[in-house]
Amino acid sequence: MILHYIITAWRCILKFKTQNLIAVLGLSVALFSFSICLYISRYVYSTDNCFEQRNRIVQFSTQNPETGVSDGLTFCDFSDDLKKFSISGIDTYIYTNHVDNRSYNVEVAEGKMLPYTLAVMETDSAYLRVFTPKVLHGSWQQAAHAPNSILLSETMAKRIFGNPAEAVGKQMVLTHKLMTSPDSTPRTGGIVYTIQGVMGNMPLNNSLNFLRNTDAWVLNDSEGILNSGWKRSMASGCTYALLSEDVEQEAFCREFNARKLEGDYFGQRLPIVAFPFNELFWKGDRAYAPYLALTTLIAGVLMLLVGMLNFFHFLTGSFVTRIREYSLRRVSGARGWQLWTMLFVQSLLLLLVSDLFCMMLMELTAPFLSINMFEMSITIERDVMMWQTGGYLLGLLVCCMIAAALVVWKVERISIQRGLFGGGGVYGKHRVRNVLLGVQLFICWIFVTLATMLYLQSQRASNTLFGTLTQSEKENIYSIPMHEYTFLSQEERLNLVAELGKVTGVKEMLPASLEGYTRGVTMSAVFTQPGRNRDHVKSVTVLYVVPDFFKFMNMPLQAGVLPKTENEIVVTEGLEKMMEKEMLGEMLYDYDDKGYTVTAICQPLIQSIQASSGNFNQNVCVFYPLEEYEIYHCYVKCEPGQKKQVGEGLEKVLRKHLPESIDIRLKTLMDDIRMKQSMEFTLRGIVAFFSIVTLIIVLLGIYAAITLDTEYRRKEMAIRKVNGAGVKQIALIFARLYIWLLVVTFILAFPIVAFAITGFSSMYEVFIDTGILFYGGIFVGMAAIVALTVGFRIYLITKVNPAEIIRKE
């Protein structure tokens, strides 16, 4: 019997093979997209599941008494204040500093040191007891008692040593002085650390360092914040406590907060509050993880909904067309459950084929399923996603059961006599089908509009950032981050810059400070009078530049001459507007009360399009002279048509000067801009993929619908032509439905899209114009695509010969 159902189902599938192929491919791609989105959502929602004792951990923080906001940041010795209150129910306190990048020379073999930059978390010996990491090699107890102890992650230990066990006992030398280092530490570091152990990798979905790698943990750090004199000068980490086993987390927080304790925070007495572990991560003022998880969840559901509507529309359509067959089977004694089994087997076969295509997509794209944005990364594990997709298929299987049951229920309501004549009137006016098409178009409007907005905004960012340079010039400027080469001395860096400048095809060189000019805008202040009087302070942005900066960036001076001494500076015209006077020849003073003479005025250089807070205005900029010892970046401008040759030459020079542990990847200024604006560039690719898939599925559904409509009403159109109907009237009969669908769904989607774009635009000072031309252009574009889809079928029906149609009837 089962074999009979399978053969019957396969014949029906082949009978409508084009429609079934469209349905299968649409569902498989939608399911693939849904699986990726749900993987990310589930990954984010499972944050901190790696910590076995998370239900016993609480976080302490001060709270703004006016706003009630807590950012979770505390002094590193904040637990000393808490111990004074004699709080019961706590086993131990722990402090974890925010992860930062540190550069070391690592002893990879006897007598051989190689430089590496690691993401390091400074903490104390209670970390093992509270967060229970797995120590694979070495001893945590040894690390807890030895000075300057390092514990590497398993991945980093494999990368450096090959065999993680070989890491234990090796030494690492700090190559750059830290902000918290004592004054006795040289600028070049030189502090020795010992690798005391190797720990299992901490999953990226942890609230301590969310979606970022943690390469190493350092204990008893002589250069760190825990042993520095800066303990009360910065709040750069979090204070936690592990509760006793018999203490309930929520109850402890309620009782603690009811005591209304206060602590010192930068000279203020602020309330101290306790939160269940990771509550601030989800509900804090800076919590973005819920938005990430919710956004991917909504996007995935919308994608799956489009694919499902298309799939079940075709599936139920093919079911309903077999009314006569069902009636004959009923005459032969077939019961409802037998009809249901026959339909379910057909839908099951289609679902299995869809699953096969979906798994093939996962297998093919597995090497590329990595998302990087905001310096965060998520690498999707293929096997895990496949297992999750298996669960989603069970849900689709239930939907297939329901669809088959509804068709059987509808068939049994039709009399056998009526069914034997084809079940006339079963199709009605296609209200259900039209509603499904409308839902698909509604979702399509959302994706297409957001994709268009992201594309235009990314283009606006590309053109606006460093707008004195053309797009082509940005692509022809190499960006070399020498701040990553902290193992180089000042003399070696300068020699490297000089040698890079000798490469054939290099037009200009521009040394820069720190991490270059795309890493962010530095806010500072200048004083119009000596003495650092607050009445004379002005908020400005600061850049440290060499005299050739203005020529390199195509920024001609508007007045004055370039600085010739270290006490001369250039300012933008925005400062003159702020001061309401001409600034040439005026004196300005920095925080060190050092005076500078303004020798030139220039136009602003836009380094960021993100919205700023307070009175921070990046158009008001002061260009200070760059000292040689501050050179940690270099830009190389190529001669026209010489980019490839210059790149090869630069790589050759870098390989000559840098050790083998350094991964040399040449990037351009445009690459830096894309990284800086990764949200727009990454999201536009993701949303564009979703919009294209959705659009294709919707257009295929519309094409199938117009095909069925025109074929079903051929006789009606022939009679209309006999009665004098012209091409225009006949075309309008079919086009009217799709015009209404386009207009109504656009009107319904507009408030949602406008709300999303308004929220997105609030993050920027420079944003695209989303007026009538923006939405009108999208509507016209979509209307044109739909018109092309249905136009061909409408054209064919207007050319029918009434005599032939009536003769066939």
**CB atoms closer than 10 angstroms to residue 303:** 26
**CB atoms closer than 10 angstroms to residue 412:** 15
Beta bridge partners of 377: 372
d(CA 204, CA 49): 11
In the prediction, which pLDDT does 637 show? Answer: 94
In the prediction, which pLDDT does 217 show? Answer: 96
What's the Cα-to-Cα distance from 494 to each of 199, 490, 551, 627, 650, rounded to whole Å?
39, 6, 21, 12, 15
In the prediction, which pLDDT does 779 show? Answer: 92
In the prediction, which pLDDT does 415 show? Answer: 60
Sign of the C-alpha dihedral computed for residues 771, 776, 781 and 785 taken in this order: positive
3-state helix, strand, coil split of the chain in percent (to 5) is 50, 20, 30
In the prediction, which pLDDT does 809 show? Answer: 54
User: What's the whole-model pTM score?
Assistant: 0.80
Q: Which position has the token pair 């077999």? A: 322
| Burial category of 724 from C-beta neighbours within 10 Å (exposed 0-12, middle 13-18, buried 19 and up) | exposed
Low-confidence ranges of the chain (pLDDT < 50): 424-428
State how beta strands 568-572 and 135-138 pair: unpaired
Helix or strand or coil: residue 644? Answer: helix
**Which of 307, 339, 436, 442 is CA-nearest to residue 782?**
442
**Dihedral angle, C-alpha 494, 496, 497, 501, nearest 10 °:** 140
**CB atoms closer than 10 angstroms to residue 61:** 24
CA angle (345 as vertex; 340, 348 as ends), nearest 5:
120
Q: Which position has the token pair 């989303």? A: 770
In the prediction, which pLDDT does 336 show? Answer: 62
In the prediction, which pLDDT does 428 show? Answer: 45
Sign of the C-alpha dihedral computed for residues 661, 664, 665 and 668 taken in this order: positive
What's the Cα-to-Cα distance from 8 to each of 313, 339, 343, 797, rounded to whole Å?
20, 12, 9, 33
d(CA 150, CA 118): 11
In the prediction, which pLDDT does 484 show? Answer: 72
What's the Cα-to-Cα distance from 369 to each of 36, 210, 307, 451, 556, rounded to whole Å?
9, 19, 21, 20, 45
d(CA 685, CA 447): 12
Chain centroid offset of residue 680 CA: 9
